[in-house]
Structure formats: C-alpha cells, structure tokens
Amino acid sequence: MKLGRLNEVEVRDLWKHEQYDFSEWLSKPENIEYINDIIGLTLIDIQKEATVGDYRCDLFAKDETTDTHVVIENQLEASNHDHLGKIITYASSLKATVIIWIVKKAREEHRAAIEWLNNNTVESIGFFLIELHAYKIGDSLPAPKFEVIQQPNDFIKANKNTALNKEESQIAVERKAFWTLFNERVVAAGKPFSIRKPPSDFWYNIAIGTSQAYICINLVNKDNQIVLELYINDNKELFDSLYSCKDEIESKLDMRFQWNRLDNKKASRIKYFIPGLNFDDHSNYDALMDEIIEKSVRMKKVFRDYIS
C-alpha cells in the first residue's frame, strides 16, 4: 500500500490578511461549520468587523437556538497580550458569553490565561483558544485544521460554589452520559444535523434553519419519557398558522402531537412523547436515540416547509 505524507502548509500562504482574507473566508456558512463542530453551537447572523469603540471585532455571531452571542477574534500569528485584551473588551461590549480566539500559535502564558479565565468566571461564559493549521497530502488541496488548545471546563464551573446534593449530581452525570452517547449515534447516522457539546441539562436543541423556532429534545426521567418538541420562541401567529395545518402535518409525519399555544406565555410548544427513558437502565438507549434522530430529522424537514 502506497501512502501519502501529510505536509503542513503556512497559513499565511493561504490567507494573506486576517481581515480581508481569513475573516472573510471563515464568515461563509460552509466554513463556519468548522467552528460549529468544535463549540457545539449553530452560528448564524455572522457580522464582520463589529464596531467596539475605536476597535472592530473580527466576527460577531449568535447561536440559532439559544441566542447566545459569540465573538471570534482571528490572529494569523502567535498569540499576544494585545489580542488577549481585545477579546475581553469585545466580549464585555457585545455581551458575548462565548469567546473564540483563533491563533497561528498559542503561547504558553496565553494558554494559561485562558485556562484561568475558564476556571474563574461564571458558568455561562466560556473561552476557547484555538490554533489554526493547514495540511496537504502530495498535490492535494490544502485542508484547514482547527486544534483546540483551551476550552471551558464544565466540571470545574458546574461545581464551583455550588451545593448540589448527591442525587442532583448523579442526574446531571446521567444526562451528560445520555447526550454523549446521543452525539455518537448522530455521527454514526451521518450527522443529519449539527451536534452540540454534550450538556448536563435535560434539553438538547436542534436548529431547523430559522430563528423563529427549533426542535428541542427533553429528558424527563421522572416520567420515564422523552419529549420531542417544536419550540416556537415568541410568535403566536406562526403557531396558529401551523395549527391550521395540524392534520396535514401530522399525516405527513405519521406523528400525533400535543399542541400547546400557551396564551399566557411568549413561547408555544408542539410536543411528541417517546416513552421508555430510564436512567437506571441503559439497555434501550440505542433504540431510543435512533428513534429521536429519525423523528427529529423528519420534523425538521416537514416543519421547515411550513415556516416561511
């Protein structure tokens, strides 16, 4: 068997200028997926050169399902103190809770600084330090590779100054274990939707291509069931429009939903229930997860056709 040799390419040979070349390239939907895969979000509304006083943040975006604000600062050279200060300034001014610093080379003192920020800030704020590399095999096209050097430490943050009792801690562990296995099943199924970083929460959101609604998977262990729902943020007209097509939608999906308009709340929910969840018995997890994936993909396709 003849094998090729992996050769590293100088990133400055691919992108001459951080702003006009690399930031422009990364802002494209097909390229921001590299970052989505790392941080477990689905970034949309990507804004280039967001103004912050006399400075400009390279990229500013939000997560489609949570409205989390994200800043991305690009540096096609070794990390420096100037950019470390910039990412903190941009995050505070733009109310961002996810901060991504992409560099050619991460210096040890900056790796330590990002680690310290992740360990000593509130749980909702996360810093990523990522090195950018590129490689070729023979005469192939160059391929970018994003290597995570530092990222949020969920275990430290979740436990700092928190008095969770043993039962609550175990439930959080079981949830994270479920979502970790779920991500593996999604990958095995060909990644029909973007995977998210496994949370310890009971919910897991799936973007459907619009900020008006998303699919939410809820683990309700006390009722031994999984709730699969279309969550509509704040749009009763959209709910009413979908409800007017209720029979048609349910027929296409071969699923019967609980339609909750929730007049006294902003959100509306369209729920489907899958029985059989039991954190004490994982023997049916594969079947449960395959059903969730299959039904989520169908819901995403059908509901999206009814949402303008």
pLDDT at position 168 over 60: no
How big, in percent rounded to 5, are the helix, strand and coil portions of the chain?
40, 30, 30
User: Percentage of the chain with pLDDT > 70?
Assistant: 95
Cα(86)–Cα(92) distance, integer angstroms:
10
pLDDT at position 50 over 80: yes
pLDDT at position 122 over 50: yes
pLDDT at position 109 over 60: yes
**Tokens 């430290």, residue located:** 156
- CA angle centred on 62, ends 61 and 67, rounded to 5°: 165
Tally of helices (H runs) and strands (E runs) in the chain? 10, 12
Return the pLDDT at 21.
94
pLDDT at position 9 over 70: yes
pLDDT at position 42 over 90: no
| 3-class secondary structure, 205 | strand
Return the pLDDT at 39.
84
Going by pLDDT thresholds of 50, 70 and 90, the confidence category of residue 155 is very low
Q: pLDDT higher for 162 or 197?
A: 197
2 contact partners, CB below 8 Å, separation of at least 6: none
One fold for 6-159 and 166-306: no
Going by pLDDT thresholds of 50, 70 and 90, the confidence category of residue 1 is confident
Return the pLDDT at 197.
81
Cα(76)–Cα(79) distance, integer angstroms:
9
User: Percentage of the chain with pLDDT > 90?
Assistant: 72
Cα(104)–Cα(94) distance, integer angstroms:
25
Q: Where are the domains of the chain?
A: 6-159, 166-306
Cα(253)–Cα(301) distance, integer angstroms:
10
Return the pLDDT at 159.
42
Return the pLDDT at 164.
43
Going by pLDDT thresholds of 50, 70 and 90, the confidence category of residue 127 is very high
Highest mean pLDDT among 31-45, 210-224, 268-282: 268-282
DSSP strand pairing (69-78 vs 203-207): unpaired
pLDDT at position 141 over 50: yes
Over residues 204-240, the pLDDT tens digits come to 999 998 888 999 999 999 899 999 999 998 899 999 9
Per-residue pLDDT, averaged over 268-279, amounts to 96
pLDDT at position 145 over 80: yes
Q: In the CATH hierarchy, which fold is given to the domain comprising 166-306? A: Yope Regulator; Chain: A, (3.30.1460)
Per-residue pLDDT, averaged over 84-94, amounts to 96
Burial class (CB in 10 A: 0-12, 13-18, 19+), 146: middle
- Class of 6-159 in CATH: alpha beta
Cα(291)–Cα(289) distance, integer angstroms:
5
**Reduced 3-state DSSP string for 124-169:** CCEEEEEEEEEEEECCCCCEEEEEEEECCCHHHHHHCCCCCCHHHH
Q: What is the dihedral of CA 125, 129, 135, 141, to 10 degrees?
A: 40
